[in-house]
Structures are given as structure tokens and as C-alpha cells.
Chain A
């Protein structure tokens, strides 16, 4: 009796959705930046994804107006921060009298790097995010102070390093020594946190394409990070976004740079394997 009723209500629901709702998945728009960098915003899901066939960049879920900001570097407000980082790149800092450029010359030499991070570092015996690697260079190569994990200097530099990889497909390794961290990240992704008992998957896997209040849910991909958000007019780093999403479940968050968020970043990055590096992107 109750079962029958439940099925009936599901049917009603299906009809109602088809008839009245503006339910929309990713749109059909194509992203070409500066008329030359062709972005892969839709790709067949990597084999390790069990419940999703196709992965989409968050860009495909934004309004045409928001999308337009990212199509040309002159319109992309994040590029001001990339320029700032370019200056820092060439500026000596720390006890060793070095700048980033002293070791890496042109930032173009780091093309491809963003696409493979987070990455296992053999000598350190750990999975490293790009932020961790930047701070490792600052501390151990330059003798400079590490930057705050989600601070402006760091976000700017990560944006600069990402920008030279734009268009290249994300290809994060999840096997070998990285696997344990990846498994841990996966577990976090599917854990229902907080008083609302919501996991990342509840919103970004089960409900992408749906509206939640005024927000059009994307797959929560991180290929576009750092993201410039029109809402707070600054660059936002991956771990800051994770923190916000966990907080919104009425949960105690993890800290940026924590082992948990490093593992989660590796896992979420791997869910975007095949999509182009887009950072710095523009979101609402």
C-alpha cells in the first residue's frame, strides 16, 4: 500500500518535472579563449568514475554573461592577478637571493605542470598540491617565508602557473604511491557531513544540472581553479572552495592545506581527468 503510493508519487513528480521545470544540464556552449585556446569542457568520464559517464567543466553551467568574462583575457578580471604574479615571479625574495625565474626562467617552462597536480613527490614521500610545491620552492630553494595557503600571493602564483597550461587536458595520476591518498579523498567525497548530512556527491554527482536555491549546481570540478568569483571579486583557491562547501552542510570544516583537503583535491582533480586546464576561470 505504502509502496504503491510512493511509486505513484514518483510518477507524478516525473511528469511535473518534464512539464514545468527549467531543468537543465550543462549547456551546449563551446569555450575558446582569446579566439585560440580551445578548451575541452566535456569529456568521457575516466574509468575510475562509477556513477558519471560524462564530465563537464563548471563553465558549462554558468550564465552566458558569466561565461563571456572567460572568453577573452582582456575581459577576464583574473588576469590582473596573473600579471601581479608575473612581477613576483621575477622578483628576488629570501636569503638565497633568488626569484622563481632564477631556477625556472620563463614561466612558460612550467607548461603542463598544472595538469598533473596534485602529484606524488618521491623524495618527500607525499602527495603535493601545487601550493605545497610553490611553498617548498620558497622555503628550500629561495630561503623565503612560505605563503599562506589560501592567501592572495599564493592564489596569484597558482593562477600564473595554471594560465600557461590552459587547454591541456588534466591528467592526474591516481595509482602507485598516490593511490592511498586518492582512496582517502574518495571516502571524504562520499561522506555525508554536518547537520544537513550532505556529501560532495549529493550535490555535485546526484544533482548537477539542478537548481539549489539560486545556484545552478555543476559537477564541482576544479579544472578552472583558481576561480575569479564575481561574488567576492578575488581569486579563490581550491581549498577555500572546499571549505565553503563543507561549511554549508553545517559541518566542522577541514583546514586549507590539511591532509584531508590534499587527499580530497587529488580525488576531485582526478574526476576531471580529460577536461582542459582553465584556470584562472571566472565564476559567479
Chain B
């Protein structure tokens, strides 16, 4: 009886996620640094992704140069140039890199954009004060999907 109930609960849970509920940061499954399953079940929007590359919580070009975004000023050199990223990596790998690059590149300086724990002296955004309460990841699940959709447009071939 108890057992049957448990199975039913699992079934319900998987049905819900198939219908598009988000995978929380602690539930993301990494396989060799890649994340196969969409975090939201909703296709990413590459145009929105391009915006996240530039400003705010993504700010990817602070560290990466992207020729397709050369109309925006000040691309950094801390990370590799992202031209052709979609030729080098699969969608699942790109999702893994953006969600938590440390799973793919051990010890990398690239921040983990979909992670909510394990920080040292976590601050309240850029105020320098201590963070209180629940922690939001740097990017939402849908923003991750949007950035991945944008990265998938970066092909050389």
C-alpha cells in the first residue's frame, strides 16, 4: 500500500515536469558536465538570450568576445571567444556550461549561473552587504534556455 503510493507520487512528479515545470538548481542532472533535459520544457528564445549576453545578470561579454555582438562595446578576454561555440559543443553541453561551468571545466573562473548554494560570504547582489533569505540563481531557468538558444546560433560552418 505504502509502496504503491510512492510510485504514484513519482509518476505525478514526472508528468508535471514533462508539462513544463522548472527543474530547480539542486535538481539539475549533469552528465560529464552536460545537461540533456531542458530546464523549463519551453524552447529558448535566442533574441532574449542575446540581451542576457550583454547586460545584467548574464554579462557574458564581460569575459567573452562574440563577433556577432560586435556592435556592443567592451568585450572581455578572460574566457575564450565564443564564435563557433555551437560547432564545438552540443546543446546539452552548452546548457551544462551555462548552468554550472565548473561541472565541465574544473575550477574555471566562469561563474555558475544556475546554482544557489555553496557560496562563501554570499552578498546581497552588489551592495557588499550579507545576503538574507532565499537565494536566486544568477539566471532563471528560462534565461538559461534563452542563452543556450542564442549560443546555438554561433556557428562558423
Contacts and interface: CB of A to CB of B under 8 A. Distances in A.
Given A12-B84, A194-B123, A206-B109, A252 B78 contact: no
Interface string B97-131: 00000001000010110000001111111111111
Contacts of B75: 211
Contacts of A21: 65, 77, 81
Interface string A194-226: 111110001000110011111001000000000
Interface stretch (A1-9, A47-55, A64-72, A274-282): A1-9
Contacts of A246: 128
Interface in A1-23: 2, 5-6, 8-10, 12-13, 16-17, 20-21, 23
B133 interface: no
B22 interface: no
A193 B80 CA distance: 23
Contact of A194 (B62, B88, B109, B121): B121
B138 interface: yes
Give chain B's interface residue range (CB within 8 Å of chain A).
35 or more
Give chain A's interface residue range (CB within 8 Å of chain B).
35 or more
B138 A195 contact: yes
A206 B33 CA distance: 23
Contacts of A86: none
A195 B62 contact: no
B121 A252 contact: yes
Contact of B88 (A9, A197, A198): A9
Contacts of B88: 5, 8-9, 12
Nearest to A207: B78
B76 A247 contact: no
Interface in A21-45: 21, 23
B78 A9 contact: no
A196 B139 CA distance: 12
B120 A214 contact: no
A251 B131 CA distance: 8
A9 B111 CA distance: 19
A253 interface: yes
Given A5-B88, A243-B128, A252 B123 contact: yes
B83 interface: yes
Contacts of B77: 17, 21, 23, 210-212
Q: Which of A6, A20, A243, A252 has the most CB of B within 10 A?
A: A252
B32 interface: yes
Contacts of B123: 194-195, 247, 249-253
A241 to B, nearest CB: 13
A213 B122 contact: no
B56 interface: no
A111 interface: no
A17 B123 CA distance: 34
Interface string B29-45: 00011000000000000
Nearest to A21: B77
B111 A253 contact: no
Nearest to A248: B126
A251 B81 contact: no
Given A2-B33, A5-B88, A16-B83, 5 more contacts: A13-B80, A17-B77, A193-B121, A247-B127, A252-B122
Kindly list the 9 A-B residue pairs having the minimum CB-CB distance in the complex, ordered from nearest: A13-B80, A247-B128, A214-B74, A253-B128, A252-B130, A210-B77, A213-B62, A9-B88, A252-B121
14 contacts: A12-B84, A20-B65, A191-B120, A193-B121, A195-B119, A196-B111, A197-B112, A210-B77, A211-B77, A214-B74, A246-B128, A251-B119, A251-B120, A253-B128
Interface of B: 32-33, 59, 61-63, 65, 73-78, 80-81, 83-84, 88-89, 104, 109, 111-112, 119-131, 135, 138
